[in-house]
Amino acid sequence: MTQASPAVAETRVQPSPALQLSVVVPTFNERDNIEPLFRKLEAALGGIAWEVIYVDDNSPDGTWRVVRELASREPRVRCIRRIGRRGLAGACIEGILAASAPFAAVMDADLQHDETRLGQMLALLESGSADLVVGSRYVEGGSAASFDKQRAGFSALATTLARQVLKVEVADPMSGFFMIRRDRFEQLAPQLSTQGFKILLDVVATGRGSLRTVEVPYSFGSRLHGESKLDSMVALDFLGLVLAKYSNDILSLRFILFALVGSTGVFVHFLTLFVVLKVFDQPFAEAQAVAALVAMTSNFILNNFLTYRDQRLKGFAILRGLLLFYLVCGVGLLANVGVAFAVYNEHITWWLAGAAGALMGVVWNYAMSGLFVWRKR
Ligand SMILES: Nc1nc2c(ncn2[C@@H]2O[C@H](COP(=O)(O)OP(=O)(O)OP(=O)(O)O)[C@@H](O)[C@H]2O)c(=O)[nH]1
Ligand SMILES: [Mg+2]
């Protein structure tokens, strides 16, 4: 073994105590909440070796810049800036996978989650009595008093649905506040959906009862600064997630949304066909061609808005994407007709042959759109 020279030994940095906890905070337009949250964590986590990882989706308000500036003063702070991607679930997954500590917590930036519970949550995990600790609004001592009537109703409905359909035992599977053993999370990560808002539900459902879970009550507060990112799309993402998990991941959330958009396309097609035929009195062949073009365009717009909203095409890329989508769907139509014809030739009833063709078309369009139109950068 070679001895280090005294000069080198003197400059050697003392190893810092091993990290116990990584706090992952997804952010989108939360610049004014970054430092207040950090100060609250500092006050709550005395005696614990911790770090905080803000995962920002290139917020237009420059949240990532505020995080970087804080990180230059505070070594506990880390920043992941994601470009060309959007989505709460994906941000949380990336943050946990980047964590250095054996335990990772996820909490919102806007101070709605109670950071004073983190110590208790960590103690439960460190003692080995749980793999997952959920900050829960729906166990005794917890509350969601800041919810208005409508949001309370939606939250209760979604919670009941998830618990009944997916047989999830957790009282608050929609919570955005939880702490998990990182090794267990890494086992589940490849099966998690990066889309959507409900990462905890995905984790619990994917774990299929294998995660020993404890719930800790907390009161969901009011947002400090900034605006809510909850919108009606969150409900659709949620239903897609429940269906995906119910089908044992045979159907992905994205495929469900793609197929849903495709079914609206059938409606758009027939509506346009009717209007061009009956109102504009055009020949059938022209009317059918116009209807197909309108349906493909509406499918493209909806998919860009909904199915691929985490990778939404913008500016000139929309035009390029639309042309590629026409091409993909054109070949998809050939595949559809080819398969339907082959099945029909086997003397199988017309509607089964038609369904086989349609299924082939959807699967083809989905696979090729993912590869060529909304390909990951
Ligand atoms: N990185 C990233 N973070 C997000 C995204 N959408 C939301 N967030 C963050 O996720 C957390 C939860 O979002 P909120 O808008 O607070 O949702 P909520 O708490 O259910 O709704 P409010 O009660 O209205 O605040 C916040 O810290 C957001 O900044 C996203 O697309 N990407
Ligand atoms: Mg919030």
Residue of minimum CA distance from atom 21 in ligand 1: 228
pLDDT at residue 58, as a whole number: 96
The predicted pLDDT at position 14 comes to 56
- Rounded to whole angstroms, the Cα distance separating 113 from 135 reads 8
Cα–Cα distance measured from residue 183 to residue 136, given in angstroms and rounded to the nearest whole number: 23
Q: Which residues of the chain have pLDDT under 70?
A: 1-17, 376-377
Q: Which residue's alpha carbon is nearest to atom 11 within ligand 1?
A: 108
Instruction: Write the pLDDT tens digit of every residue in 287-320.
Output: 888 999 999 999 999 999 999 988 899 999 999 9
Residue with tokens 């793999």: 131
Show the tokens assigned to 65: 């810049």
Binding site membership of 307 for ligand 1 (Cβ less than 6 Å): no
The ligand that comes nearest to the alpha carbon of residue 83 is 1
Burial 221-235 (b: 16+ CB within 10 A, else e): beeeebeebeeeeee
State the CATH architecture for 17-246.
Alpha-Beta Complex (3.90)
Cα of 216 vs centre of ligand 2, distance in Å, is 19
> Cα(241) to centroid of ligand 2, in Å?
20
What is the CA(228)–ligand 1 centre distance, in A? Answer: 6
223 lines ligand 1 (CB under 6 A): yes
